[in-house]
Amino acid sequence: MKILKKKVIYKGKYLRAVEKEYLTKTGKRGIWECIERPAGVLIFPLTKNKEVILEKIFRIPINSYSIELPAGALDRKNENPKETAKRELLEETGYLAKKLIPVFKWQLSPWVASSLGILFFAPDVEFVGKKGGEDVEEIEVIKVPLKNLEKFLLENLKKTKVEISIFGALAILREKRLI
């Protein structure tokens, strides 16, 4: 597979839509529509009482609430992923991460987007104040005991959307013996 050319068809504040012309090894040409956006961070916050901090957030693209881990885009100049993770966690939940451990990097939606995700583990987070995210973000903070997390998520799949990366983060953290 070879990419022959790329054409930006839309450029917004947070993403670009592009068409990529490609050539397969059998000689077939085609156009693939893609999204380019900044890398993002995903934070798995755990309190000293072993409660996972989740968000129930309204997501405009799906016109629904979704239960997710705190997250955010690396969209500020001169801010590294760890700083972004700390800021996003505090802004969205009111919890401060005393320590952030980089755990894993992966491609978010590789069939349509080029962005990278970076998972951080935040052990022993502490509530320090105001929460709620930006004006466009309607966020309810949810605390779930770690031992009940999977059950909570599976029960909520029947009621609302649940972002699947929570299950992946949980498995990776267990595999690395961080939880």
User: Residues 106-164: pLDDT tens digits?
Assistant: 998 888 888 899 999 999 999 998 765 555 568 999 999 999 999 999 999 888 999 99
Q: Specify the pLDDT at position 12.
A: 95
pLDDT on residue 108: 85
* Predicted confidence (pLDDT) at residue 75 exceeds the cutoff of 90: no
- Domains within the chain, CATH numbers bracketed: 2-36 (no CATH), 40-175 (3.90.79.10)
pLDDT of residue 131: 64
| Res 78: pLDDT | 86
pLDDT of the residue at 133: 55
Q: What is the pLDDT of residue 44?
A: 98
The string of pLDDT tens digits covering residues 8-38 is: 999 999 899 999 999 999 999 999 999 999 9
Amino acid code (one letter) for 153: L
* pLDDT score of 136: 58
Query: What is the model's pLDDT at position 158?
Result: 86
Comparison of pLDDT for 110 and 174, the residue scoring more: 174
Task: Give per-residue pLDDT as tens, 77-121.
Answer: 889 999 999 999 999 999 999 999 999 999 988 888 888 999 999
Q: What HEC string does the chain produce?
A: CEEEEEEEEEECCCCEEEEEEEECCCCCEEEEEEEECCCEEEEEEEECCCEEEEEEEEEHHHCEEEEECCEEECCCCCCCHHHHHHHHHHHHHCEECCCCEEEEEEECCCCCECCEEEEEEEEEEEECCCCCCCCCCCEEEEEEEHHHHHHHHHHHCCCCEECCHHHHHHHHHHHCCCC
